[in-house]
Structure 1
Amino acid sequence: MNADPYPRQQQPRADSALAVEDRLYSALAIVRVVVTINMVALNAYRRDSFSYPTLALAVVLALVVWTGVAIWLYGRRSTRTPALLVADLLIAVAAIGVTPWLKTESFNATLPGFWVMGALLAWAIHWHWKGGLVAAIALSLADLLPREVVDQGNYGNVFLVLIGGPIVGYMCESLQRMARERDAAEHAAAAAEERTRLARAVHDGVLQVLAMVQRQGAASGGQWAELGRLAGEQERGLRSLIRQQDTVPARSGGWVDLAGALEAMATAHPVRVEVATPGGAVLVDEHVGTETVAAVKACLDNVLAHVGADASAWILAEAAHDAVTVSVRDDGPGMAPGRVDEAAAEGRLGVASSIRGRIEGLGGTATVQSGEWGTEWELSVPDRRI
């Protein structure tokens, strides 16, 4: 059993994020068509500014052909590779670079013009704000370096490219992240619903029978007591399986399922523990969940140390509107009144720090009651996710 109740999972790019990327490239295809038409129209209008009009026409036609090829290649995931993105950007830079040769050294507008937006936006979609920034810098340098004079219009175009690329990239990354978080939330909700349905079915049948065998066996003694003990172990194991079926999807966005974590921790503890939790997930802040589970484990460790491995304990988790309460009870002989405060005064801070210190550090409360029936800790922590 993993000691960490919240194992960190590798998160590959989800299908939802790739679906968002597909839609963005589909939108980019429309942009490519528009800027290509604009490029052809402007160069036809400015044909008298070219020193080599025939070569300029060949470059324009080559860019039109590349537009069609790029739309087709970007439309398929298998061909949407880093090599394609690099080639796309190099073609855009080259189209800017040949402008002084096709026109004159005192040129104003570059031959591709806004056509280079295709490569810029492709890098922003695939590599997010970093890709948008790199592509923007490359295109800006290719535009500015050959110029003898940089006027206000040139500066304005470069400025828009430099801020537009990273901003578009950041927005694309945000859309993909939201798609992944939506999928995680839907998965967690579906898993919780299925767990609730399964828990009802199991509780109405198998768990009730196992609990009855446990009680009757303990009361009968002898071999029946051993059978009751085995039934109790099977009941706890079955409850743990029900809870663990969605342990991973319950952990999302800094929130964890406290109920599932308590089940996992109790199953691994040497003391016989029965856990009762609400039917659905109990989502709390990750730090709150970690500290609460550690405090509950400290309670069980005290049971093991002062009562023994044959002791039994019960954990009850209840979720209110703005807090979660976890009760830990054992069947030991109890302890003298004020014993916890007395131990703290003597400098033995085990209970004070491992239980009360953790819970009070979360803004909650930890109270203890004890008698001949045993000892019960009640831990109340705030910050439950609704």
Structure 2
Amino acid sequence: MTDAGPLDAALAVENRMFRALAVLRLVLLANTVGMTLYRLDNFTHREVGLALTVLMVVWTAVAIWAYDAPHRRLPALLVADLAIAFATLLSSPFVKGDGFNATVPGFWITGALMAWAIHWRWVGALVAATLLCATDLLIRDGISQTNYGHVFLLMIAGPIVGYMCGSLQQMAAERDRAEREAAIAGERARLARAVHDGVLQVLALVQRKGPELGGDGTRLGQLAGEQEQALRSLIRQQDTLQTPGASPVEDLGGVLERLGNRRPPVTSVVTPGAPVELPMVVATEVAAVVGACLDNVAAHVGEDAPAWVLLEDLGDRIVVSVRDEGPGIPSGRLHAAVEAGRLGVSESIRGRIRDLGGTAELFSSPGTGTEWELTVPRPVV
């Protein structure tokens, strides 16, 4: 998965924030124009004050247009925005004379501050707020409680807006990524069901019925079995791709299929159509137990003796059955082996499963083959 989706989501949040800022700019401009006309008699240089007001009207229109398109939000635009706010603020002593109360732009400078907050998050807001607030305080003859309050609000509001904008963009990117992963997982599950209900079932049927036909039918059954295993492996390789930062998990079905490929074509591995994801350490231990069972088949029944491995996902637990058609294990033989100090079955099979919180049951009698049923509780992945 590329980063295009998360970047688009973050940009969408920024676009909405700048559209909201456009409305705020108009409100601030209306307030500044109204206050300028109302207090025009207090200006020492009225013509300059009116010229600056016209400049703020023009720049507000330009800024709304420029910020509306992402490709125009270049650093030069934001620097120019802040520079004009700084210049109008700095002109207040000249335009209004000594002892002025309100600056020429008033709250209009908040537009530039919010633009820095939206585009450059809390760091940009802190830089812009520090420059504007320091200028506002330095150009005054004295600092009143009202002036201090305005400066304090700008220093707090700017970084907070910047932080919130960054948080919203991160949340949007994470939501977009989760939705895309959910859609991909859903499509993979649908395709896996389609393949499992169609192609895999046909291959399994050919594998079972082929030997009954004799001659080429036996070879046809073997080829069908090999193709079934290959197709399942391809599905699992796609299903078990993990995103960066994901916790390490393993598809037990894929592990068992690779394990069965060590003894082709005498080992048949049947798994669900969907991945059976377990923590990697659990999947590794279960695979080791199944490997020990298959080693016992090779050692006590024969290298070419067939064996069957069946994996079932029951939601809260997984069950793996390993079966052969050998002579079986006489009653009391395993107990006698433990008494004699041979702990292969006791430790490599039952001990490992017990450590995982599961159970290992043996079903065997002379002449009926042997079947191990391994049940392991499914941890939360």
TM-score (norm 2): 0.74
Which one has the largest radius of gyration?
Answer: 2
**Contact 2:121 2:162 (C-alpha < 8 Å) held by counterparts:** yes
Return 110-119 or 65-74, whichever deviates more.
110-119
Q: Note if 1:315 corresponds to 2:311.
A: yes
SS, match of residue 270 in structure 2: strand
Equivalent in the alignment of 2:32: 39
Equivalent in the alignment of 1:327: 319
Q: Note if 1:97 corresponds to 2:70.
A: no
Q: Alpha carbons of 1:356 and 1:24: their partners in 2 closer, same or farther (altered >3 Å)? A: farther
Q: Note if 1:122 corresponds to 2:112.
A: no
SS, match of residue 358 in structure 2: strand
Deviation at 1:191, TM superposition (A): 3.3
What amino acid maps onto 1:21 in structure 2? E
What amino acid maps onto 2:314 in structure 1? E
Equivalent in the alignment of 2:224: 231
Equivalent in the alignment of 1:72: 65
**Contact 1:277 1:316 (C-alpha < 8 Å) held by counterparts:** no
1:57-76 per-residue CA deviation (whole Å, 9 max, x = no partner) reads 22221121111111111111
Equivalent in the alignment of 2:53: 60
**Contact 1:337 1:370 (C-alpha < 8 Å) held by counterparts:** no
What amino acid maps onto 2:317 in structure 1? T
Equivalent in the alignment of 1:6: none
Q: Alpha carbons of 1:128 and 1:232: their partners in 2 closer, same or farther (altered >3 Å)? A: farther
Return 19-28 or 194-203, whichever deviates more.
194-203
Q: Alpha carbons of 1:84 and 1:205: their partners in 2 closer, same or farther (altered >3 Å)? A: same
Equivalent in the alignment of 2:367: none
Distance 1:353 1:114 in 2: 74
Return 300-309 or 102-111, whichever deviates more.
300-309
1:308-352 per-residue CA deviation (whole Å, 9 max, x = no partner) reads 798653332232xxxx32233334689946999x99x99x99889
Deviation at 1:180, TM superposition (A): 3.0
Equivalent in the alignment of 1:275: 271
SS, match of residue 378 in structure 1: strand
1:73-110 per-residue CA deviation (whole Å, 9 max, x = no partner) reads 11112212233223222322232222233333543322
Match of 2:177 among 181, 184, 208: 184
Match of 2:145 among 152, 164, 169: 152
Return 40-49 or 262-271, whichever deviates more.
262-271
SS, match of residue 271 in structure 2: strand
SS, match of residue 49 in structure 2: helix
Q: Alpha carbons of 1:153 and 1:196: their partners in 2 closer, same or farther (altered >3 Å)? A: same
Q: Note if 1:161 corresponds to 2:164.
A: no
Equivalent in the alignment of 1:5: none
RMSD: 4.1
Equivalent in the alignment of 1:17: 10
SS, match of residue 14 in structure 1: helix
Between the two proteins, the alignment pairs up a number of residues equal to 355
1:252-305 per-residue CA deviation (whole Å, 9 max, x = no partner) reads 99689x7x8445555655556432155xx88x8xxx744444444444555676
Q: Note if 1:172 corresponds to 2:165.
A: yes
Q: Note if 1:368 corresponds to 2:364.
A: no
SS, match of residue 103 in structure 2: coil
Distance 2:167 2:351 in 1: 41
Q: Alpha carbons of 1:156 and 1:189: their partners in 2 closer, same or farther (altered >3 Å)? A: same
What amino acid maps onto 2:321 in structure 1? R
Q: Alpha carbons of 1:141 and 1:313: their partners in 2 closer, same or farther (altered >3 Å)? A: farther
Deviation at 1:212, TM superposition (A): 1.6
**Contact 1:181 1:252 (C-alpha < 8 Å) held by counterparts:** no
Distance 2:289 2:214 in 1: 29
Gap regions ≥5 residues in structure 1: 1-8, 360-364
Q: Alpha carbons of 1:77 and 1:262: their partners in 2 closer, same or farther (altered >3 Å)? A: farther
Deviation at 1:55, TM superposition (A): 2.0
Distance 2:60 2:187 in 1: 49
TM-score (norm 1): 0.74
Distance 1:88 1:337 in 2: 86
